[in-house]
Every structure is written in C-alpha cells, then in structure tokens.
Amino acid sequence: MPGATLDSKFTKESKTYHRMGDLGYLDEDGNLRFLGRKAERIETNEGPLETERCEPIANTVEGVQRSALIGIGDGNPKKPCIVVEPSKGFGNSKSKEEIRRKILGKLKASLPNQKIELVEFEKSLPVDARHNAKIHRLSLAKKWTRKLHR
C-alpha cells in the first residue's frame, strides 16, 4: 500500500520518521503519556476523547473486567459511550446499575469538560483472535449505534 506507507513517514532535519498511529504527549515532568490509537479516538461536541483517558478510569470500578470507549453516531461529532465487560458475578441488573453510576461519577470527576452519559454492557467484548486483548471498537460502535438509534 504505497499511499499508506507514504502517509506514515515524514522527514525532519534530514531524518526519516515513521508514524505509528499512537497518540501521546510529554507531561510537565518529561514523561511520555500514552493516549491510545489515533484511529480509536472519537470526536465529541466537547472535543477529542481518547481511549486511554477513559478506559483506565472505568476499569478501576469493582465489577469491571475491561471496558471500551466507542462513539455513537454516523458522523462527527459522536456521542461517547463506555461499553463494559463485567467481571464474573456482576451480571445482574442491580450490579450493572451500580457499576454504571460509579463509572459515570468517576468520569465526571476526572474529565469534567466531557459529557459522557452512556455506559452499556456486553457479556464479553469482541477481541482480535490472535491476541485476545485488542478490542474491536469499530464493531462495537456500529452495533451500539444501531441499538441506541432504534
């Protein structure tokens, strides 16, 4: 794919660099802070929102095995949504409501400028068969956009 290869490289001061598709920044202490994959970032009414700003917060809530940030909608901006794979023993509706409430509270406290109002649940998140870790966020986004727009 010559076009993709061309897009992924740039030259600065006679050095060639390769873009990896990851987002990050250097904080005030010079530490590199990883934000997630650029392709998985969503554009919201409040600005861009990256997976690694949200998912680690949701994953600290008891009863959350893992989570995925997805965008609801067909164009930009999208409505942010956290999809949760509950831990074993946390699948009933009462525990899901408690998990939802805690996630939304933590996200509001940590990301006050973002309006994250949706938390949905999947028995298990779809993952790459080779790694069993890379979550298929695009398929989740398509599924939940269809479900929530009915």
Question: Can you tell me the distance from the alpha carbon of 61 to that of 98, in angstroms, rounded to the nearest whole number?
Answer: 10
Q: Is the residue at 16 inside a domain? A: no
Give the model confidence (pLDDT) of 36-55 as tens digits: 999 999 999 999 999 999 99
Determine the structural domain holding residue 84 and report its residue range: 40-148
- pLDDT given at position 118: 98
Classify residue 60: in a domain, yes or no: yes
Residue 74 maps to a domain: yes
Whether the predicted pLDDT of 131 surpasses 80? no
Alpha helices in 59-133 (DSSP H): 93-110
Non-local (6+) Cβ contacts of 79 within 8 A are 44, 71, 72, 73, 117, 118
Task: Give the C-alpha distances (Å, rounded to integers) separating 27 from 20, 24, 35, 108, 131.
Answer: 20, 9, 12, 22, 30
Kindly state whether residue 19 falls inside one of the protein's structural domains: no
Give me the DSSP letters along 6-24.
HHTEEEETTEEEE--SEEE
Q: What is the pLDDT of residue 8?
A: 84
CATH number for the domain including 104? Answer: 3.30.300.30
- pLDDT value of position 133: 77
Q: Please report whether residue 35 resides in a domain.
A: no
**Would you state the pLDDT for residue 4?**
76
pLDDT band at 19 (very low <50, low <70, confident <90, very high): confident
Is it the case that residue 132 has pLDDT exceeding 80? no
User: For residue 7, is it within any domain?
Assistant: no
107-126 residue pLDDT tens? 999 999 999 999 999 999 99
User: What does the mean pLDDT of the chain come to?
Assistant: 93
pLDDT tens-place string over residues 42-91: 999 999 999 999 999 999 999 999 999 999 999 999 999 999 999 998 87
The number of domains in the chain is 1
Q: What was the pLDDT predicted at 79? A: 97
**44 occurs within a structural domain:** yes
Going by their DSSP bridges, the two strands 9-12 and 15-18 should be labelled as antiparallel
In a domain, 25, yes or no: no
pLDDT classification of 1: cutoffs 50, 70, 90: confident
